[in-house]
């Protein structure tokens, strides 16, 4: 018996774009936050090379602190580029700024910018300059080293005149390094580095266990990306405000 289809197949129906009220709010917020962070990071790293240290507290933009006698510029320039490029080439941030800054596309069901000609010429990340984003894995190696130094700085934040202590700055630096570690260890490149290229997980139990651990935090990478962005600025600002005498560190013991 012939079967009668009462509705046309889905692919034959022209789908009208679904109107999304306030769709522009998310890209606008991303532009404001990423633009604000970039401006602040530039000011802290390049324009204001003083006030980045207060007692046992060191701004994360300046860690590890490299002071060369012949270097007339901010010491942060020697080091901050690596974690900043790690962030700039992050797969999660790429999605965020492609949508928000390049409107490529800005949101679901919203047309992307650009003429048909420019779209036809688009080669994604296989051509210069976007192909440089593939260096992400190398910035990851540098970021892992920087995170190790930040843990040392966070530990130093608990030592006051050779004795164990606790100040609000100790907590600020500790929270920051925890969030940065979560951001770095939830990186897609690191997960691939640990678990990729293996044909047999049971042949490498250590890598498999580590990969499982990374896979648990990896789905939250976007959240850690935003939280750690704010925590870096908060830690730098807190140290600077102490250094400028505007704030007094709250000491618990």
Does residue 90 belong to the site contacting ligand FES (CB under 6 A)?
A: yes
Cβ-based nearer residue to ligand FES, 29 or 220: 220
Enter the tokens of residue 97.
């700024």
Does residue 240 belong to the site contacting ligand FES (CB under 6 A)?
A: no
Enter the tokens of residue 109.
């069901």
Q: CB 121 → ligand FES: shortest distance, Å?
A: 27
Enter the tokens of residue 211.
């990969």
Q: Which helix (H) or strand (E) holds 251?
A: none
Ramachandran quadrant class, 244 (left: phi over 0; alpha: psi -120 to 50; beta: rest): alpha
Pairing mode of beta strands 159-160, 163-164: antiparallel
Out of 40, 91, 97, 98, point to the residue binding ligand FES (CB under 6 A).
Answer: 91
Q: Which helix (H) or strand (E) holds 68?
A: none
User: Binding segment for ligand FES among 1-9, 46-54, 89-97, 166-174 (CB under 6 A)?
Assistant: 89-97
Cβ-based nearer residue to ligand FES, 34 or 90: 90
Does residue 192 belong to the site contacting ligand FES (CB under 6 A)?
A: no
What does the alpha-carbon distance between residue 204 and residue 185 come to, in Å, rounded to a whole number? 20
Cβ-based nearer residue to ligand FES, 78 or 88: 88
Does residue 207 belong to the site contacting ligand FES (CB under 6 A)?
A: no
| Residue 57 dihedral angles phi and psi, to the nearest 5° | -100, 135
Enter the tokens of residue 101.
């800054």
51-81 b/e (C-beta count within 10 Å ≥ 16 → b): bbebbbbbbbbbbeeeeeeeeeebbbebbbe
Does residue 151 belong to the site contacting ligand FES (CB under 6 A)?
A: no
Residues 103-142 that bind ligand FES (CB under 6 A): 136
User: Binding segment for ligand FES among 86-94, 166-174, 204-212, 228-236 (CB under 6 A)?
Assistant: 86-94
What does the alpha-carbon distance between residue 189 and residue 142 come to, in Å, rounded to a whole number? 13
Does residue 92 belong to the site contacting ligand FES (CB under 6 A)?
A: yes
Is the Cβ–Cβ distance between 107 and 26 less than 8 Å? yes
Cβ-based nearer residue to ligand FES, 187 or 194: 187
Q: CB 107 → ligand FES: shortest distance, Å?
A: 21
Does residue 214 belong to the site contacting ligand FES (CB under 6 A)?
A: no
User: Binding segment for ligand FES among 151-159, 161-169, 185-193, 243-251 (CB under 6 A)?
Assistant: 185-193
Interface with ligand FES by CB under 6 A: which residues?
90-92, 136, 187-189, 221
């Amino acid at each position: 018996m012939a079967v009668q289809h009462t509705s046309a197949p889905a692919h034959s129906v022209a789908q009208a774009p679904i109107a999304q009220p306030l769709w522009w709010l998310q890209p606008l917020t991303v532009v404001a936050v990423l633009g604000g962070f970039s401006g602040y990071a530039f000011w802290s790293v390049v324009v204001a090379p003083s006030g980045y240290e207060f007692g046992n507290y060191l701004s994360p933009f300046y860690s590890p602190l490299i002071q060369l006698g012949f270097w007339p510029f901010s010491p942060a320039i020697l080091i901050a580029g690596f974690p900043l490029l790690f962030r700039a080439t992050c797969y999660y941030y790429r999605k965020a700024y492609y949508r928000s800054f390049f409107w490529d596309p800005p949101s679901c069901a919203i047309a992307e910018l650009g003429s048909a000609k420019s779209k036809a010429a688009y080669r994604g990340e296989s051509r210069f300059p976007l192909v440089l984003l593939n260096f992400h894995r190398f910035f990851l190696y540098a970021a892992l080293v920087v995170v190790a130094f930040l843990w040392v700085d966070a530990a130093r934040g608990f030592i006051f005149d050779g004795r164990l202590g606790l100040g609000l700055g100790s907590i600020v630096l500790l929270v920051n390094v925890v969030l940065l570690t979560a951001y770095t260890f939830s990186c897609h490149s690191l997960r691939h580095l640990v678990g990729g290229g293996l044909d047999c997980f049971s042949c490498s139990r250590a890598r498999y266990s580590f990969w499982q651990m990374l896979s648990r935090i990896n789905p939250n990478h976007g959240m850690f990306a935003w939280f750690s962005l704010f925590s870096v600025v908060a830690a730098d600002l807190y140290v600077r405000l102490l250094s400028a005498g505007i704030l007094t560190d709250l000491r618990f013991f």
